[in-house]
Amino acid sequence: MKFFKKRGPTQPISKIREWCNALVFAVIVASLVRWLVLEAFTIPSSSMEQTLLTGDFIFVSKLHYGVRTPKTPLQIPLTHQTIGSTGIPSYLDWVQLPQYRLPGCSHVKRGDQVVFNYPMELDRPIDLRTYYIKRCVGLPGDVLHISNAQVYVNDMPQPQYPGLQYRYYLKTTATLPDRFFRQHSIREYSPVQAGYLVYTTPDTATQLESIAFIQEIHRVVMPAGMADSQIYSSSATCPWNADHFGPITVPARGMTIPVNERTLMQYERAITYHEGHRDVQINDNQLWIDGQQVASYTFQQDYYFVMGDNRHNSADARFWSFVPEDHIVGKAVLILFSLDPSKRFLSKIRWRRVCRLIN
């Protein structure tokens, strides 16, 4: 009696199957690396200049703050929102899982350049909202205010990071060519009466003062007490603008606030959109949650206050409120390479920015 049958010769694997197996393996490995370790991003706008430039390709570490578990599982691997540039959604939101954060090797710190999902993109799941990058200037529980464009946290002035730039008025005796602005790394400028409005760093502004044909240069800030309707929570009782803002306390998990006109104005979006309640109603300065009126509110998660380094040309927390902890993606750690969109061929490459660490 034969217990073992002699096996015939194995059929060779076809080249097509080999390529398919290799492709599936590569997609799985790339997806795991992208989820657990590093993800690549492109800087699309000038809100972080001069620190990060439009066209920088950066790596964002998921290990620093801890990896988020997937919330939207029905998604094509290695995509975000759409399939390439087709505009076709790359996901289905039929299934939404509870989201958790695995332990990380650090916490968000003041000064970190943080990538997060845009909190006000409410028509998409949290993990598929548009990626933003800003500098964290306020941690949970911090009391933050801005005076004359200077950020103060807990009454302490915050560092003037090397890349910070502001809006300046440049009065000149002559028309300046584009070459002049390129020489001084000024990428955003526009002609105004008797001069130019430019966005640059304080160091560059000091250098420009010594040029003979520049008569005057000064920072342009909005006066205190002038309310800007674009600023979140700005009103007649809180006449805030981008240069004079607050004071405001950044919400922290477990922090309790009384419900009144001022607190509802400052924290309405956090309570309404990011705390996980099914039904939130605010009427006549009264707060109703799931059909019950509450006289005080305790926050369920931490929040952060973020700003762009291009302080006068950045849509940040001053305009749309706080970043919830569950929207944090990771920390920007490395500029892999950088392409100047205004140039062509090899001249597009910014060689000085290749493999440059982000501080």
Write the DSSP assignment of 85-128 as a string of letters.
TS--BSB-TT------B---SS---TT-EEEEE-TT-TTS-GGG
Alpha-carbon Rg for the chain, nearest whole angstrom, is 25
% residues pLDDT > 90 (the chain): 75
* CA–CA gap between residue 333 and residue 230 (Å, rounded): 32
Are 194 and 216 contacting, i.e. CB atoms less than 8 angstroms apart?
no
Give phi and psi for 182, each to the nearest 5.
Answer: -65, -40
Residue 346 confidence class, pLDDT cut points 50, 70, 90: confident
The DSSP bridge partners found for residue 80 are 82
**Within 10 Å of residue 82's Cβ, how many Cβ atoms?**
14
pLDDT at 1 over 80: no
pLDDT value, residue 30: 83
Are 100 and 69 contacting, i.e. CB atoms less than 8 angstroms apart?
yes
Lookup: tokens for 230: 């674009």
pLDDT value, residue 223: 94
Question: 166-219 — its CATH code?
Answer: 3.30.70
pLDDT value, residue 9: 60
* CA–CA gap between residue 189 and residue 168 (Å, rounded): 9
pLDDT at 342 over 90: no
pLDDT value, residue 5: 58
78 burial type by CB count under 10 A (0-12 exposed, 13-18 middle, 19+ buried): exposed
Lowest model confidence (mean pLDDT) among 18-22, 143-147, 169-173, 281-285: 18-22
First-to-last CA distance in the chain?
74
* Range 288-294 average pLDDT: 93
pLDDT value, residue 8: 56
pLDDT at 299 over 70: yes
E strand spans, 220-344: 245-249, 256-258, 280-283, 286-289, 292-294, 296-298, 303-307, 323-324, 328-338
Residue 147 to residues 195, 225, 309, 318, Cα–Cα distance (Å): 26, 11, 16, 13
Contacts of 269 (CB under 8 A, 6+ apart): 119, 120, 232, 320, 321, 322
Bond before 223 cis per omega within 30 degrees: no
pLDDT value, residue 288: 94
The single residue listed with the structure tokens 């001249």 is 347
Lookup: tokens for 18: 């080999």
* Range 272-290 average pLDDT: 93
* Range 176-189 average pLDDT: 92
Considering the entire predicted model, what is its pTM? 0.92
Write out pLDDT tens, residues 228-269. 999 998 888 889 999 999 999 999 999 999 999 999 999 999
What b/e string do you get for 41-75 counting C-beta neighbours within 10 Å, with b at 16 or more?
bebeebbbbbbbbbbbbbbbbbbbbbbbeebbeeb
- Using DSSP's 3-state secondary structure scheme, residue 236 falls into coil
pLDDT value, residue 4: 53
CA 281 to chain centroid, in Å, comes to 29
pLDDT at 339 over 60: yes
Length of the chain (residues):
359
Lookup: tokens for 29: 């490995």
Side-chain half-sphere exposure of 148, counting CA atoms within 13 A: 3
pLDDT value, residue 118: 96
Write out pLDDT tens, residues 64-80. 999 999 999 999 988 99
pLDDT value, residue 135: 96
